[in-house]
Amino acid sequence: PFDVLVVGGGPAGATAAIYAARKGIRTGVVAERFGGQVLDTMAIENFTSVSHTEGPKFAAQLESHVRDYEVDIMNVQNASRLSIDAETGLVDVALASGATLQSRTVVLSTGARWRAMDVPGEAEYRNKGVTYCPHCDGPLFKGKRVAVIGGGNSGVEAAIDLAGVVSHVTLIEFDSKLRADDVLQRKLRSLPNVDILVDAMTTEVRGDGGKVTGLVYKDRTDGDEHELALEGVFVQIGLLPNTEWLEGAVELSARGEIVVDDHGRTSMPGVFAAGDCTTTPFKQIIVSAGAGATAALSAFDHLIRTDVP
């Protein structure tokens, strides 16, 4: 068995693996997509000591740093079940492929993903005009009209970003006001090719069968429906933790986040968690990486206090 098995290969998982491997203990990482959300990120300018880098480059460096150590990396593998082996006391991580990995401790770092609107047309036109990643897909809409759904930091950042590439941006917020930081809102309002709609509920994405042609929203102040003619819809309404597979195994919050204490412990003995999949506030690379270090050191602490199963 592994001493520490990390599930997830984003900034949290990579850091946990490095910290564990540096203790000279048997370490593995199983990841659906090594690198995690960073792979979908363009500029990163808030990781201390790195003034500027790009997501895919950062992700490649995460992996090469982990490979500096003796870590068993199992990429493109999906964990589907977590349990304790009653006989051995080891933690079992079952993979979708059918295999089961055993470890004395586990660090869960499965991150999060963008939330969908769940309106007609959204799924049908995904990647045919509906997208969740402005950094990845913005250039595809050069000179075209787009909407950004969501007035939080990510939505307003996306609108500012896209305004420099596309011909026109409509930002649509369900609430009566935007929630983004003031500095972002000021920047957004200074842009000539951006309209901001509040109290607006998106009800449908329309298309011609092949691609998006418009979006329908309801004005929540009078109930009237309106259609906007456009080519792209960027959905920016929050993150969902990748924890469905853990339901019933470890304690989750009402939002589905893994409940952790200040040592990264979960409700299951020997199982720790870190990063965007947990209740820790602020979903950021540096925060996740720090939590990964905490979780790995806690796992090591657990190992030296526990009889070898």
Q: Are 17 and 27 in contact (CB under 8 A)?
A: yes
When asked if residue 272 is in the footprint of ligand FAD (CB under 6 A), the reply is no
Q: How far is the CB of 102 from ligand FAD (least distance, A)?
A: 16
Q: How far is the CB of 11 from ligand FAD (least distance, A)?
A: 4
Q: How far apart, in whole angstroms, are the C-alpha atoms of residue 196 and residue 178?
A: 9
Q: Are 277 and 259 in contact (CB under 8 A)?
A: no
Q: How many CB atoms lie within 10 A of CB 82?
A: 20
Query: Using CB under 6 A, which of the segments 26-34, 123-131, 141-149, 190-198 binds ligand FAD?
Result: 26-34
When asked if residue 283 is in the footprint of ligand FAD (CB under 6 A), the reply is yes
Task: Give me the DSSP letters along 199-227.
Answer: SEEEEEEEESSSSEEEEEEEETTT--EEE
Residue located via tokens 């609107």: 117
Q: What binding mask, one character per residue, do residues 174-213 give for ligand FAD by CB under 6 A, x or -?
A: ----------------------------------------
Site for ligand FAD in 45-104 (CB under 6 A): 46, 78-79
Specify the pairing of strand 112-114 against strand 239-241.
Answer: antiparallel
User: Which of 202, 242, 266, 298 touches ligand FAD by CB under 6 A?
Assistant: 242
Question: Nearer Cβ to ligand FAD, position 58 or 300?
Answer: 58
When asked if residue 266 is in the footprint of ligand FAD (CB under 6 A), the reply is no
Query: Using CB under 6 A, which of the segments 251-259, 260-268, 276-284, 297-305 binds ligand FAD?
Result: 276-284
- The CA distances from residue 95 to 21, 74, 92, 234, 282, in Å, are 22, 11, 10, 32, 29
Task: Give me the DSSP letters along 88-133.
Answer: T-PEEEEETTS-EEEEEEEEE---EEEPP---TTTTTTBTTTEES-
Q: Classify residue 309 by burial, with Cβ atoms within 10 Å: 0-12, 13-18, 19+.
A: middle
When asked if residue 276 is in the footprint of ligand FAD (CB under 6 A), the reply is yes
Q: What binding mask, one character per residue, do residues 115-154 give for ligand FAD by CB under 6 A, x or -?
A: ------------------x-x-------------------
- Considering only CA atoms, which of 273, 255, 254 is closest in space to residue 263? 273
The residue of the chain with the least Cβ separation from ligand FAD equals: 111
Question: Nearer Cβ to ligand FAD, position 216 or 286?
Answer: 286
Query: Using CB under 6 A, which of the segments 3-11, 169-177, 257-265, 300-308 binds ligand FAD?
Result: 3-11
User: Which of 4, 5, 6, 7 touches ligand FAD by CB under 6 A?
Assistant: 7
- Considering only CA atoms, which of 45, 56, 40, 39 is closest in space to residue 234? 40
User: Which of 3, 18, 19, 40 touches ligand FAD by CB under 6 A?
Assistant: 40
Q: Which residues bind ligand FAD (CB under 6 A)?
A: 7-13, 30-34, 36-38, 40-41, 44, 46, 78-79, 109-112, 133, 135, 242, 245, 275-276, 283-286, 288
